[in-house]
Structure 1
């Protein structure tokens, strides 16, 4: 790309990121005031929409009136209003019309379809996006000096789904076409971001290889995955791809087509390195690689340390911003931690204690009312046309930034409960306790529940004997009994069996990821899921 074009983008990105970071830092001491202003902006902008009229939003003056006027709903329950939009009706959920619809699989696998308006981008998403981007700039300033300093694996072209609607994620938006050129994002202006037309029909996995092959010609300092399942797949894919990649380096080809001058020297060096180690790591391709941007909580919290070691000896993790298709949640502000500060100046947040039922009339708490160490369901509202929407995310409060909570994503609450005894956060907490008690690291896991009991399908880090697995199962059982009274009662009366642990190879999880990507799903859609009954 033209040097001046990149310089203009870099200047805009630096300025916007700095501004939004400053705004976030300035908002944390006054959460009540900022949340009141967000509610006022929502009601003022959208009070005279169809949804606003049905819920008398023009009469809402404070959070208590808002709670009385609007019941809590999840994304599925907004479908009647979305159907009206599909039928061509205007001003249904928001005063400005949707530019497009986000499609997300969600961590539970439930398909979501969320409208995106220009006001939502302006007031909610882009402030969140740029504030989070500021953290990347602080860690690797070089990404603003050259376009090839970052490999962004969360970006991929649009792919249509079986329902005929485009599966759009936030990484697929045409920001330049929306007049937001600066939001194109770190790593999205590198040459490999737009593959040659000869590869237009390539599947998502082949496109990932082609981008990696192209990036191997460059000095990458930062890999942006966001979704940790992508980050976990990269070292594994290199074990399969490195012979092809080395051969293409020697031939100067991209996907078998001539593209560069042959680089015999680098090809020989990488070939010798792979022969000596048995694999090529990302840090072998890019010796100065030092940052991985990825979510680092939920299931990834169990395997992130091992994953970073797979990338290379000097690689650090910067937690990606925390959010969902419904809206932004939190921006990481402290290096090395998986939590973040709520975006209280952009989105209206309410919370329901995680041990309470999440229903239409659940009593909610405001951000300043939360308590450290407690877990909550997230309910959000924003100017884009979502009102008291239950995201079904569960977060834990880890601290406060000023008077604003810092939260960490710890699990999901499924729309149709699979198991009434154990929640995702409780399962993950017990597994972490078993790992600590036995000194046994875990690469991934999924969980099955039935009337007879529970089964953990676990990929351990390294081969484990039958005795090792039995010891881990005993530690897991003890952790569940100690932490969950309902489980303890069920065990004491014999209504459920002890938890079972079945060891599988890490490749079982990677193969499932690969199967779905090869079938045509965009990589950002294929996420870790704790409740994945068909695996294994």
Structure 2
């Protein structure tokens, strides 16, 4: 098993060496690298409908590009995407669109993102550099299988007809070709598990596959709560899981389509079952003694459950992912920071005054919103993510995700922004030594039109947390005035017993999207969260 895993991982890493070398060199020269990326994208797409409409053939510099091409959001691009969906070619790119990938917007409305071979190469450039850097830090992860995020399918409902396929079956399809096959060969659990009829069966089968892999070395998921929910399910089905490891069977086989059921069986392993029985469900280090790295989101709303995961795994490296979206890869974990993926796409950044600048001109400590141009046909696309520069790798800025742009809640003039709320919540949780898996602040309108904010939090918390958080929110002068005038009542609390993030994802998901598509937030402008958490509890 070790030799086979090492061989397969070695082949994939070998295919990624070029990406790592190019990225390592580019980090010292971000300006010229980015201008080369832009020139290449303009040249190869000049004959697209979008390129002709905006005079790509006459673009000779970044300044020309800015004059001719406007900064856009998805609503502006949607008519162009609709033309692609209806079967028209050469719309946003000269290259054919292989798929339209669904993702969720801030309100849950679906967006369809064009995916081309060029965009696939861009993702490979970033992921290859990240993985080779990871192996350089933790060489032993190549000696065993890995668990890569598998999101259970979210029902898409009846899919309307489209000339271009919509969606990917699983995340490994982003890599494509030989890289996809090599990665799938190292999976500790087959991606077909996403087809489970219900979440409990999905978790059971996933745990069963993982327990059958004593040499598990790497776990890569999106939100840290995804993993802690898996570990919680260990205790609930422990005896059945151990029995299935011993027999090679799977007790939830019938919850999967017939074509998936053969994948759930395995060679009986009484010896492994005895090891598991002796360890028990709470000793993760004994279940997988070779587990070395867990990769997951660690910024924004994921910061608190990220620290909870660190406490659960004191002997495992918990690596915060970079900023990766369906539309583009913005930053990657590399050399201990999260530098911009400058070899993958062309980036611009808008500051608080609306001025745009290129990657090499960013200043440490400043906050920007991301604008990206990709090989998939997103031209000066305002991604909506707010980032802070927290340092540099070479001459390339490293970014920390703060939250979503426009995440302003304003019931009566308080103007609470997501980065501010995130900071206040994190400080309050540190004050009371809490690391909740899920925490979300949202406005509510109660009886007699009483307005207040409610902290929806998974698990127990001390009563003193709420007035402390309210005091921190008063650091915002607009919120403080609203509280003094009685327009806003003190912060309320709502305890959620379990599965809060899962419920959040169900509410926020667009048809056809997956859990990994949904970016976590610490502030919502919705006023109906209490009903959703009650209904789905």
TM-score by length of 1: 0.83
Structure-1 residue corresponding to 2:374: 382
Which of 526-535 and 83-92 deviates more?
Answer: 526-535
Displacement of 1:17: 2.7
Structure-1 residue corresponding to 2:186: 189
Displacement of 1:200: 6.6
Structure-1 residue corresponding to 2:110: 111
Matched, 1:479 2:472: yes
Distance 2:98 2:407 in 1: 28
Distance 2:274 2:487 in 1: 62
Shift in CA distance, 402/474, structure 1 to aligned 2, threshold 3 Å: same
Shift in CA distance, 236/201, structure 1 to aligned 2, threshold 3 Å: closer
Tell me the SS of whatever aligns to 2:16. helix
Which of 379-388 and 317-326 deviates more?
Answer: 317-326
Match of 2:289 among 287, 299, 313: 287
Distance 1:184 1:241 in 2: 32
Shift in CA distance, 514/313, structure 1 to aligned 2, threshold 3 Å: farther
Displacement of 1:202: 4.6
Q: Mapping of 1:314-353 within 5 angstroms? A: 314-335=315-336, 340-353=338-351
Match of 1:432 among 413, 426, 438: 426
Shift in CA distance, 307/340, structure 1 to aligned 2, threshold 3 Å: same
The alignment of Structure 1 onto Structure 2 pairs a total of residues equal to 505
Match of 1:251 among 226, 241, 247: 247
Given that 1:72 and 1:390 are in contact with CA atoms closer than 8 Å, whether structure 2 keeps it comes out as yes
Shift in CA distance, 296/194, structure 1 to aligned 2, threshold 3 Å: closer
Given that 2:146 and 2:188 are in contact with CA atoms closer than 8 Å, whether structure 1 keeps it comes out as no
Given that 1:220 and 1:288 are in contact with CA atoms closer than 8 Å, whether structure 2 keeps it comes out as yes
CA deviation map 1:347-401 (0-9, x unaligned): 1111122x45xxxxx4312222222222211111122211011111111111122
Structure-1 residue corresponding to 2:258: none
CA deviation map 1:208-245 (0-9, x unaligned): 43233123122212212133332232212223232321
Shift in CA distance, 132/513, structure 1 to aligned 2, threshold 3 Å: same
Q: Mapping of 1:2-401 within 5 angstroms? A: 9-105=8-104, 109-122=108-121, 124-146=122-144, 149-154=145-150, 161-164=157-160, 166-168=166-168, 171-173=171-173, 175=175, 178=176, 180-184=177-181, 186=183, 188-190=185-187, 192-193=189-190, 202-203=197-198, 206-218=201-213, 219-255=215-251, 259-260=265-266, 262-264=268-270, 266-271=272-277, 273-274=279-280, 279-310=281-312, 312-335=313-336, 340-353=338-351, 355=352, 362-401=354-393
Given that 2:101 and 2:326 are in contact with CA atoms closer than 8 Å, whether structure 1 keeps it comes out as yes
Tell me the SS of whatever aligns to 1:65. helix
CA deviation map 1:484-534 (0-9, x unaligned): 3332343344443333333333444456669999x9974434663432642
Which of 78-87 and 519-528 deviates more?
Answer: 519-528
Detail structure 1 runs of 4+ shifted over 6 Å in the superposition: 1-4, 155-159, 415-420, 514-517
Structure-1 residue corresponding to 2:492: 500
Given that 2:99 and 2:167 are in contact with CA atoms closer than 8 Å, whether structure 1 keeps it comes out as no
CA deviation map 1:453-489 (0-9, x unaligned): 32221235xx34xxx32x212221222222x333234
Distance 2:200 2:134 in 1: 26
CA deviation map 1:423-463 (0-9, x unaligned): 22111101011123333333311121257232221235xx3
Distance 1:163 1:191 in 2: 31
Tell me the SS of whatever aligns to 1:133. helix
Distance 2:179 2:487 in 1: 58
Displacement of 1:107: 6.4
Shift in CA distance, 22/106, structure 1 to aligned 2, threshold 3 Å: farther
Shift in CA distance, 64/200, structure 1 to aligned 2, threshold 3 Å: closer
Which of 499-508 and 42-51 deviates more?
Answer: 499-508
- Structure 1: unaligned runs, 5 residues or longer: 357-361
CA deviation map 1:146-194 (0-9, x unaligned): 4xx212234778975543564427714175xx5x312446465346426
Which of 166-175 and 95-104 deviates more?
Answer: 166-175
Tell me the SS of whatever aligns to 1:441. coil
Distance 2:474 2:292 in 1: 41
Tell me the SS of whatever aligns to 1:453. strand
- Structure 2: unaligned runs, 5 residues or longer: 254-263, 446-450
Tell me the SS of whatever aligns to 1:327. coil
Distance 1:441 1:15 in 2: 39
Distance 1:162 1:492 in 2: 50
Structure-2 residue corresponding to 1:359: none
RMSD: 3.4
Shift in CA distance, 213/38, structure 1 to aligned 2, threshold 3 Å: same
Distance 1:63 1:223 in 2: 40
Shift in CA distance, 509/152, structure 1 to aligned 2, threshold 3 Å: closer
Given that 1:20 and 1:130 are in contact with CA atoms closer than 8 Å, whether structure 2 keeps it comes out as yes
